[in-house]
Amino acid sequence: MSVTVTAQVTGQSISSTFDYCYLYEPLLVNISQSDLTERNIYIDLYVYNTSDSVTLDLLSKYGQYDINPGVAIKVDLMRLAQQYHDSNVFKIGTLTDIANATDIPVSKYLYSFVIYSDLGGVPVEVSKLPIIGGRDFYDFVPAVSYLQHLTEASLYNVDLTGRWKNYPNISTVLVDTSSGSAFSPTTTITTEATAAFEPCGGMLIWKSRFGGWMYWGMDIATRKNSKKYGGNLTVGMFEATDSGNPYVAVDYTEIDTSYSITLKALSLNNDELEAVSGISSSPAVYYMRNSTAKLELMRLSSSSSPISTLIGGGDFSVSLKSISTSSQKAR
């Protein structure tokens, strides 16, 4: 009356001790039973606070599966975690917010999946702390440790320190989950004071799909304002004021204004282009107009980081559009 749980992908960890995985990657397990009279497999979900391991929730039979005698079933445990995960909007306006947002690199919840059959027996427990992100097939490695590359820059050995004067260096470090009970990561932000170059186009900061924060100083910035008129009013050639002076009346009731920015960083090598190309898969891109500015969340319209083994590098360009709009009434 016991179940056996094994990883379907060789190298992925299946253990009762908390370790890391990626929230938006499959964590596939095969569940088989020893008793042919068993008809159901159940999964209880225990939820703990990442910061102190205090129990927050217990959902009995969160997963329920019918089984055929002697036939193992396949379950993606991260699909269950995704259903519970609280995907809040990023509340980032300053660099301090990035440093304090410990639930953006990793989940604020620890998950334990307790797996057993309808006949009881000894359950199998699988415990995970998901990193918020997901790698593509090319970058996938089954084992995920606290030393995992959290940015594309780390993966491609691109050192971002000492590059941009008066702008931040951002580094996130995961906790070794093999000891202790407080697993919130640490994000450190330092201002680069000794670098020779200060980017004229400001800095882009974005959430990496590997879990951490990527950033890059931009050489050139071009801003374009746009407007949209709202409402229609019927007007003639002109009207008269109360004092009898002719004037041309507006034919709209309001105006909405927004802006877009085109940014470019010049002469990056292939590894640097590989590192910045991940911006296209980022869920949140922020623009820092100058070294003292707030971070503004922008919509990424397009990005270009052409990688060629023939020329060994190129320019990195990005087009952004403001999410916030300013509206004024005309009357």
Q: Above pLDDT 90, what percent of the chain?
A: 68
SS3 95: helix
pLDDT attached to residue 310: 62
129: which strand partners? 20
| b/e 113-137 (16+ beta carbons within 10 angstroms → b) | bbbbbbeeeebbbbbbbbbbbbbee
Domain ranges of the chain: 3-87+105-144, 168-329
Mean per-residue pLDDT of the chain: 90
pLDDT digits (tens, 9 = 90+) for 195-235: 888 999 999 999 999 999 999 999 999 999 888 877 777 77
Whether 1 has a pLDDT exceeding 60, the answer reads no
Using pLDDT thresholds of 50, 70 and 90, give the confidence band for residue 331.
low
pLDDT digits (tens, 9 = 90+) for 289-320: 988 889 999 999 999 988 776 677 899 999 99
pLDDT attached to residue 230: 77
pLDDT digits (tens, 9 = 90+) for 246-267: 878 787 778 888 889 999 999 9
Find tokens 């391991």 and name the residue.
53
pLDDT attached to residue 236: 75
pLDDT digits (tens, 9 = 90+) for 16-75: 999 999 999 999 999 988 777 778 899 999 999 999 999 999 999 999 998 887 788 999
User: Would the pTM of this model clear 0.85, i.e. be above it?
Assistant: yes
Q: What is the mean pLDDT of residues 76-88?
A: 91
Nearest to 158 by CA among 267, 274, 264: 274
SS3 266: strand
Q: What contacts 24+ positions apart, CB below 8 Å, involve 178-186?
A: 178/17, 178/19, 181/52, 181/53, 182/51, 182/52, 182/53, 183/18, 183/50, 183/51, 183/53, 183/106, 183/110, 183/129, 184/50, 184/51, 184/102, 184/103, 184/106, 185/102, 185/105, 185/106, 186/102
**Which one of 3.30.70, 2.60.40, 1.25.40, 3.40.50 gives the CATH number of domain 3-87+105-144?**
2.60.40
